[in-house]
Amino acid sequence: MTGRIDDVFRNRKKPAFIGFTVAGDPDRDTSVRIARALIDGGTDILELGVPFSDPVADGPVIQKADERALAAGITPAAIFDIVREVRIFSGVPIVFLTYYNIVYRFGIDRFYRHARDAGVDGILIADMPVEESDEVCEAAARYGIDPIFLVAQTTSDERIKTIAARARGYLYLVSVLGVTGVRESMDSGAIDLLKRVRRQTDLPLALGFGISNPAHAKTCAAAGANGIIVGSAIVELVERNLSRPDLMEEELKTFVARMKGAV
């Protein structure tokens, strides 16, 4: 039995567009509007960041979005409600990007059960090493949620094999050394990483971190990426239009359409 994420990648000719936004940024209602705009623009997989006070993998743009969401009183329970609201109007796959402390404090089994019930398809825990993922992977299997893992340029071939054996849905390839954030150019190491991981697995490979414009999207597509993940560029658009939600929605839809058109 395959899930919604598998369906996105099956027989695809062009990379899937994976759009990231922080759930609850700047507040619950606006964040649902943002999700709708991203989906209306053509987002194939919606990645929702679960706001956290110490997001070690994220740069300042997403850190500020986390702060706005937390200041608005967004909790894990509120995130599940946001997913339910999105599910009213869309069947697009939804992936959580979160941190282990959030899942552990909520209760691993309980977190995955609530995620399944809300309509989440995959969960990536950014700071969880694959060697410590037994309990999480068991919960993911129990509730039919794809466990998604990060692979960095510094990850050894042996470790890539271990990660690929546990992962489902797709692998999130970190295209730069460092944290999330908009960058001027694609790191050449990203393409090398893509080729290296492809030799180890048939799982779909999605490149993220630093991808922010159509030229980046073209480079990823030409290199054979199955997916392109864009986060900070989307969150910057949100931040620039906090007082103009209607304009924000239009700019988000236009941005996604431009990125998809580039590939």
Q: Give all domains of the chain, ordered by start, each with its CATH number.
A: 16-261 (3.20.20.70)
Residue 32: per-residue pLDDT: 98
Pick the catalytic residue: 25, 44, 58, 236? 58
**Token digits for 41?**
């623009």
At 47, phi and psi to the nearest 5?
-105, 120
How does residue 56 score in pLDDT terms, banded at 50, 70 and 90?
Answer: confident
Q: Which two tokens stand for residue 216?
A: 């980046």
- Say which range, 52-56, 100-104, 121-125, has the weakest mean pLDDT: 52-56
For residue 182, the model assigns a pLDDT of 46
pLDDT given at position 210 = 76
**DSSP character string of 60-103:** HHHHHHHHHHHHTT--HHHHHHHHHHHHHH----EEEEE-HHHH
Q: Pick the range with the lowest mean pLDDT from 97-101, 191-195, 201-205.
A: 191-195
179 has a pLDDT exceeding 50: no
pLDDT of residue 220: 87
Lowest mean pLDDT among 64-68, 128-132, 207-211: 207-211
| Active-site entry in 47, 121, 146, 251 | 47
Please state the φ and ψ torsions of residue 48, each to the nearest 5 degrees: -110, 120
How confident is the model at residue 178, as a pLDDT? 45
56-69 average pLDDT score: 89
Q: Enter the tokens of residue 38.
A: 């991203």
47 catalytically annotated: yes
Would residue 58 show up in a list of annotated catalytic residues for this protein? yes
pLDDT at 219: 87
pLDDT (mean) for 170-188: 65
